[in-house]
Structure 1
Amino acid sequence: MVAVSQPGKPLTLDEMRAILRAKGLRATTSRVAVLEHLLQATTPVSHAELAAELGPRGWDRATLYRNLIDLTEVGLVRRADVGDHVWRFELLKEGPRHRTDEHPHFVCDECGDIQCLPDESIQIKAARGAPRSLRRRGVQIQLKGRCDRCIGP
């Protein structure tokens, strides 16, 4: 997990490079840009969304995708499918909202918006006969419904 030192204070370029190197990755400019984008994201990001943001800066889609996969393989990023068959990526970071990397998401079934939910919003009680992965919190929880914006006033 990436430790975000102070809320609201972005990591420096040297700190991002150090995070990548500590995981055994080269700190290329495109990889640093992907890491920086994921650090700023408040919700999981698809490859297409990342490419739309970083593509105009000169990085091709294949490079960005390889960087996402590399970050996932070394444990800095989690890849999730929220039911629409689109992989989304989010940085595993320590912070005030999440004590662990597994946290629930809310997916709007009207507009497709995805929101990270605070850990406390869902309580899991592993009952007898439940899969071990549930007891160890090795699952992804996704709630679906309509977001506040789609429900309206």
Structure 2
Amino acid sequence: MARSKTPSLDALRALLRDAGLRCTAPRVAVLEHFQTHRKPLSHGELVEALADREFDAATIYRNLIDLEGAGLVSRVNVGDNVWRFELRDQDAETQREHPHFVCVECGEISCLEQVRIKLTPAPGSLKSVVNQVSEILLKGQCTRCA
């Protein structure tokens, strides 16, 4: 039987402790939600998704900032002036930036974790510019809208 990649609550708590953060109910809930919804989510989407837990919106926001500062989540900009966050892969060998895809019809955002894009500087260009790229955003129609 294949092992699930979804960590247990104990594993999420250990992840928080290893990052130097206290294991509060909102932090565990945010990490748990990211683990089960592997795509970038806005603060508003998280507040809505966790509404039944009755966490304050400001608490969720502060926890997102803390989780980002600890390297557990990344902030993603898809060009619509709404910051989204996603869980970072904690495996040092596979941890890397990956491109995101936004459907221009329905607005669905997808992680393209299996896509590798190598940027090579053109002759005469500055290598440092290519080395500083940290986000790549692709736009088009998703399979449902195409």
Q: Aligned residues: percent identity?
A: 49
TM-score (normalizing by structure 1) = 0.83
1:7 CA displacement: 5.5
Equivalent-residue separation in structure 2 for 1:142 and 1:7 (angstroms): 31
Amino acid at match of 1:141: I
Q: Which runs of 4+ in 1 moved over 4 A?
A: none
Equivalent residue, structure 2, for 1:87:
83
Q: Is the 8 A contact 1:104 1:119 kept in 2?
A: no
1:81 CA displacement: 1.3
Equivalent residue, structure 2, for 1:21:
17
Give the 5 Å matches for 1:5-84.
8-84=4-80
TM-score (normalizing by structure 2) = 0.87
Equivalent-residue separation in structure 2 for 1:40 and 1:19 (angstroms): 16
1:106 CA displacement: 0.6
1:113 CA displacement: 0.4
1:118 CA displacement: 3.3
Match of 2:128 among 116, 129, 132: 132
Q: Is the 8 A contact 1:133 1:139 kept in 2?
A: no
Question: Which of 1 and 2 has higher RCO (CA within 8 Å, sep 6+)?
Answer: 1
Q: Is the 8 A contact 2:40 2:85 kept in 1?
A: yes
Q: Does 1:101 align with 2:96?
A: yes
Q: Secondary structure at the residue paired with 2:115? A: helix
Q: 5+ unaligned residues in a row in structure 2: which ranges?
A: none
